[in-house]
Chains A and B, each alone.
Chain A
Amino acid sequence: MELFVSEGNPHCLKVLAALEVTGVQCSVQYVNHEERVVPFLSRPTLPALLLPTGLHLFSSNAICRYLFEVSGQECSEFCNQWLEWEATDLQPALLQALYMAVLQGKGSEVSTVLQGPLKFLDQSLSKGGMPYLTGEAVSVADVVLWAALYPVLSDSSQALGEHKSVNGWFDRVASIHSCLSAAQKVLQGKGLQGMKSYMQRQPAPQSSQGRNTQPCNCNPIEGEEGERAFSEEELEAAILNWSKGLSTSPLATDRQHPILPQEGKRNILVTSALPYVNNVPHLGNIIGCVLSADVFSRYGRLRGWNLLFVCGTDEYGTATENKAREEGLTPQLICDKYHAVHSSIYKWFQIDFDFFGRTTTEKQTEIAQDIFWRLHKNGFLVEDTVEQLRCEQCQRFLADRFVEGICPHCKYPEARGDQCDKCGRLINAVELREPQCKVCRQTPVIRSSKHLFLDLPKLETQLEQWLEKSTSTGDWTTNAKQITRSWLRDGLKPRCITRDLLWGTPVPHPDFKEKVFYVWFDAPIGYLSITANYTDEWEKWWKNPHQVELYNFMAKDNVPFHSVVFPCSLLGAQDNYTLVSHLVATEYLNYEDTKFSKSRGVGVFGDMAKDTGIPADVWRFYLLYVRPEGQDSAFSWADMALKNNSELLNNLGNFINRAGMFVTKFFEGCVPVMELQQEDKKLLALVGWELQQYIQLMDKVKIRDALKHILNISRHGNQYIQVNEPWKNIKGGDTERQRAGTVTGVSVNIACLLSVMLMPYMPEVSQTIRNQLNAPQSCVSTMLQGNGTFVCSLCAGHRIGTVSPLFQKLEADQIEALKKRFGGQQTPQSAASTQPAAVPAPAAAVEVVTVNGVDPEKAKQLTQAVAEQGDKVRALKAQNAEKAVITAEVAKLLDLKKQLALAEGKSPEPAPQKGKKKK
Chain B
Amino acid sequence: MALRELSSLEKYLGLKKPNKYSTQGDKKVPVLQNNNGPPMLGLATIACHLAKEAKRPELLGDTAESRAVVQQWLEYRVTKLDSCTKEDIKFILKDLNLYLQDKVYLAGNRFTVADTLMYYGIHPLIVDLAIQEKEQYVNVTRWFDHIQHYPGVRHHLPPVVVLKNRIYTSRHH
Contact = CB atoms under 8 A, between A and B. Distances in A.
Given A215-B85, A519-B171, A57 B69 contact: yes
A783 B83 CA distance: 48
Contacts of A830: none
A561 interface: yes
Contacts of A87: 75, 78-79
Nearest to A80: B45
Nearest to B135: A632
Interface stretch (A34-42, A454-462, A849-857, A888-896): A34-42
Given A43-B91, A85-B42, A62 B72 contact: yes
Contact of B72 (A58, A91, A426): A58
A41 B72 contact: no
The winner among B72, B88, B101 for most chain A CB atoms within 10 A is B72
A665 interface: no
A174 to B, nearest CB: 25
B119 to A, nearest CB: 17
Contact of B168 (A319, A557, A632): A557
A419 B79 contact: no
B29 interface: yes
Nearest to B76: A59
B20 interface: no
Contacts of B48: 77, 80
A199 to B, nearest CB: 18
A62 B83 CA distance: 19
Nearest to A556: B167
Contacts of A557: 167-169
Given A40-B99, A66-B65, A215-B87, A400 B170 contact: yes
B78 A42 contact: no
A23 interface: no
Interface string A564-599: 000000000000000000000001101001000000
B16 interface: no
A61 B45 contact: no
B71 A400 contact: no
A561 B124 CA distance: 38
B45 to A, nearest CB: 4
A497 B50 CA distance: 59
A911 interface: no
Contacts of A29: none
Interface residues of B, number: 50
Interface string B115-155: 00000000010000010100010000000000000000000
B95 A66 contact: no
A789 B91 CA distance: 36
B90 to A, nearest CB: 9
A213 interface: yes
B94 interface: yes
B107 to A, nearest CB: 9
A513 interface: no
A84 B45 contact: yes
Contacts of A632: 132, 136
A88 B65 contact: no
Contacts of A519: 171-172
B71 A65 contact: yes
Given A53-B65, A426-B173, A213 B85 contact: yes
Given A40-B99, A87-B75, A590-B132, A81 B41 contact: yes
A91 B79 CA distance: 9
A842 B90 CA distance: 36
A734 B67 CA distance: 74
Interface in B69-116: 69, 71-72, 74-76, 78-79, 82-88, 91, 94-95, 98-99, 101
12 contacts: A62-B69, A66-B64, A80-B49, A84-B44, A209-B85, A211-B86, A215-B85, A215-B88, A400-B170, A401-B170, A426-B173, A557-B169
Interface of B: 27, 29, 40-45, 48-49, 52, 64-65, 67-69, 71-72, 74-76, 78-79, 82-88, 91, 94-95, 98-99, 101, 124, 130, 132, 136, 163-164, 166-173
Give the 5 A-B CB pairs with smallest separation, nearest first. Answer: A62-B72, A66-B68, A84-B42, A40-B98, A209-B83
